[in-house]
Amino acid sequence: MILAHLNQLVFHPAALGLFQDQSVGFAPMDLWNNMGWLARGVVAVLFIMSIWSLAVIIDRYLYFNAARKQSREFAPRVAGALKEGKLDEAIKVADRNKKSHLAEVVTAGLQEFRNYGSGGAITAEQIESSKRALERSEAIVHAKLKRGLGGLATIGSTAPFVGLFGTVAGILKAFQEIATQKTPGIGAVASGISEALVTTAFGLLVAIPAVMTFNYFTNKVEAFDVEMDNSSSELIDYFIKQSNRR
């Protein structure tokens, strides 16, 4: 009788309680159905963060591309207009390239220079006023360029911790299932472990692109800042040269 019972355990390992007939599907809907409400809440939060991050990435990509393209067209045209002394024509060129970061800054300086003067000699106060207008415009454009990047940085830094919270929830669920079923089998904890791993992976999937694109866009903003500084400096030099000629 004892040998027969041992033989039954050897050929039917499920009787040992090591392998339970509780399979967990790995399809998205199967994983979602096996999740607890806490883990589903974590996934929902991560999903919202991913949509927000994707929206910022697309918006900044289109905005920066338009700014770069229009600035390349704007720079030689406004330089030619200023070289010929056509201040109004330079302002019109800038107005036609409103998405250009350079055009927005240069327009502010040109308009201030034109509105301040009365058609006579160019004074130091007029040049200084134009310089302040350029600085104010640079600050405004810089803020526009960085719009949304703070949220992208926040998502990149917090998404792994949100996923980790889901991991803890999944591990707790696994221990609760062990305590409830009172079996040490893998099937008893499969649902909780899969829940923990899914939330961890989802958190990293949201965070990694956010961090990478944040660094990329930050470098772009710094390059745009350098271009705006150079354009402002060149415009002030142009005003000074014009004042020395008169």
Query: What residue segments make up the domains of the chain, in order of their start?
Result: 35-245
Place of tokens 């999944």: 170
**pLDDT in the model for residue 82:** 83
pTM exceeding 0.85: no
- Helix (H/G/I), strand (E/B), else coil: 27: coil
Give, to the nearest 10 degrees, the angle between helix 186-245 and helix 124-145: 170
The two structure tokens encoding residue 226: 């350098």
Q: What is the pLDDT of residues 178-237, one digit of tens each?
A: 667 665 555 555 566 777 778 888 889 999 999 999 999 999 999 999 999 998 998 888
Query: Please, which pLDDT band fits residue 6 given cuts at 50, 70 and 90?
Result: very low
Calpha distance 152→56 (Å, rounded)? 7
Q: What is the pLDDT of residues 104-117, one digit of tens each?
A: 999 888 888 888 76
**150: pLDDT strictly greater than 90:** yes
Q: Average pLDDT of 126-149? A: 92
Beta carbons of 221 and 146 less than 8 angstroms apart? yes
| Residue with the larger pLDDT of the pair 216 and 89 | 216
| Residue with the larger pLDDT of the pair 53 and 165 | 53
